[in-house]
Structure 1
Amino acid sequence: MAGAAAKKQAVSNNKILRDLHTSSLVVNLFSVFLMVVFNRPNLSKFKYYLMFNIPLISSEYMIEKYGRPKYKENGAIAREGIDLRQEGLTEYMFDVMYLTLFCDVMVGVVGSLKVFYLLVVVPVFMVYKVAGLVGLWRQARGNQLGGADSNGAQSGGTGSSEGRSKRLVKMEARQQKGRGKTQRVRS
């Protein structure tokens, strides 16, 4: 028996998927209509139009595959699907879909497939995010190994306390104080 949260998520996912598929269908039919009736852009470029819609199609497929709730024969929820409102990769896939749909509309308005160059923003943004994550990982790894902190001072030594948290400075002071006591006892 599924809980109330699973039922709520299943209903939410069904609504999100229905809205997504409806908007995608309407926008693509509008764009194809403009291509056929007004020849904007030329109908011979339809294969390029399909090629530029690969990000939309693949993202929509993945969202559908993992977000669609599965039901048992008796109507009970077998699996509610992933939460389509979560942050992270799901959010980026929705951004890619919305950007592609925007480009589809602009192709009909402008009459050129060059609008799809806006899709270059996606890999550039991904590189930016990955570079930021790598930088954070290196910084955390360096601090964890006792390497240089953000000011270049050794965190394990007697470097300046600037750039370090007050808690860390107090802990190091207690450790130094404790070392002094143990050295006097041993002497």
Structure 2
Amino acid sequence: MKKIVLVGYMGSGKSIIGQLLAEKLHLPFYDLDFLIEKEFQKSIMEIFSDEGEVFFRKKEHEIFKKMIENDESFVLSTGGGTPCYANNHLYLQNHPVYSVYLKASIPVLVGRLKNEIAKRPLLHNLSDEETFDYIAKHLFDRNYYYNQCKFNVATDEKTPEEIVAEIEQLL
């Protein structure tokens, strides 16, 4: 059984890398945000808006835990905050999981997220300068959890294919 869980800040490439990696390894691919949206028939933005972040994090934990504890092999991309709440980082350490932190620099993350701010509940009300500062602070706060992963893969200036190849070598 092989469970590969991709962790990283929003915009780090978890979904794209996850899809490519799953295809290459002939495993199913799951996106935790999509699983949550499917269960609630709402976008993440709507869940945050209607129910609040605490509700969202509780449901995120429940679905994450269920995925980690099932007997299926897969590649799973998590939300940017997943490992930082409800001791989810401990699930990555205490279960047979290959956890991979996709590490991107702040300027790269800001560049990638610039065009997606409307879809990102935590960024949608921020100016460009506020976005940079927010990401810098958030990334600093979350680094402890991200660095609990078994593997760290720097993603700056690499193609998705190069990142997938690097992850394959680590596994």
TM-score range, shorter chain: under 0.3
TM-score (structure 1 length as normaliser): 0.23
Specify which structure has the higher proportion of helix: 1
Specify which structure has the higher proportion of strand: 2
Higher relative contact order (CA 8 A, sep 6+): 2
TM-score (structure 2 length as normaliser): 0.24
Larger radius of gyration: 1
